Amino acid sequence: MHSAFGYFSGSESFPVQPKELHEKIATSGTCSDRWHLAGRDDLSLEVMAILAQDSDPEVRSGIAMNYLTPAGILALLANQHPDLVPPISIHTNAPPTLKELAPILWQTDESIFQYLVDKGATEEESTELRKLHSRLTRQHLNQIRKAQKNVPPDEVPYMEPPRAPLLGDAWRSIHTEPSNDATPPYSPQFLNDAAHYWEHWSK
């Protein structure tokens, strides 16, 4: 399991689930079996697509947080289940329009790199966004260190990364050239729902 996001990143601790039985488990296995299946790192795209349509929210969440889930399935999950926007929008494979709904400091360096590739960022834009990400990270770490002073280790409060600025806002602050970016295919209601779920979600 990924230490930062709780993303599944291996099948070593999962029950034995032979690859030839994955589709059968996905369609008719128990909820527990389907949930374990959703976290595996050897799933086919077909099985991932089946699990993304599962009736159980824990199974869908498992697919949303599987580090191998591709952009298309993540986009489908987010559109159908806005409550999954927070974990999906910080997924390395998420479409850039979904990543833009997440605070920049909740993105990993790998996710930022892939975002810049997907956006076709210039070298200057890539440098500026990475510098901003690094500066905000240092500020957050300094705040944590300050809070830790003269406090017993077991009493240090958890300080999650700030929820502003959003990655999309940060990008628009440096992307000053006329943009050919497509309008995000999200309705105002979807954006409101996404903001609501981000407000009440934490790692």
Over the chain (203 residues), the average pLDDT of each successive run of 10 is: 42 68 92 92 94 96 95 95 95 95 94 95 94 93 84 76 91 76 74 90 72
CB atoms within 10 A of CB 165: 16
User: What integer pLDDT is reported at residue 7 of this predicted model?
Assistant: 46
> How many angstroms separate the first and last alpha carbons of the chain?
13
What's the whole-model pTM score? 0.83
CB atoms within 10 A of CB 194: 22
Q: How far apart are CA 201 and CA 180, in angstroms?
A: 32
Of 183, 198, 164, the closest CA to residue 78 belongs to 198
Q: How far apart are CA 131 and CA 51, in angstroms?
A: 38
User: What integer pLDDT is reported at residue 184 of this predicted model?
Assistant: 59
SS3 183: coil
Q: How far apart are CA 144 and CA 34, in angstroms?
A: 39
Q: How far apart are CA 172 and CA 91, in angstroms?
A: 20
Contact assessment for residue 129 and residue 121, using Cβ atoms and an 8 Å cutoff: yes
User: What integer pLDDT is reported at residue 89 of this predicted model?
Assistant: 96
CB atoms within 10 A of CB 181: 13
User: What integer pLDDT is reported at residue 167 of this predicted model?
Assistant: 95
Positive or negative, the Cα torsion across 189, 101, 77, 126? positive
User: What integer pLDDT is reported at residue 6 of this predicted model?
Assistant: 44
Q: How far apart are CA 66 and CA 88, in angstroms?
A: 10
Which helix (H) or strand (E) segment holds residue 59: the answer is: helix 57-64
Residue owning tokens 């230490």 = 3
Contact assessment for residue 167 and residue 104, using Cβ atoms and an 8 Å cutoff: yes
The amino acid at residue 187 is: S
User: What integer pLDDT is reported at residue 5 of this predicted model?
Assistant: 39
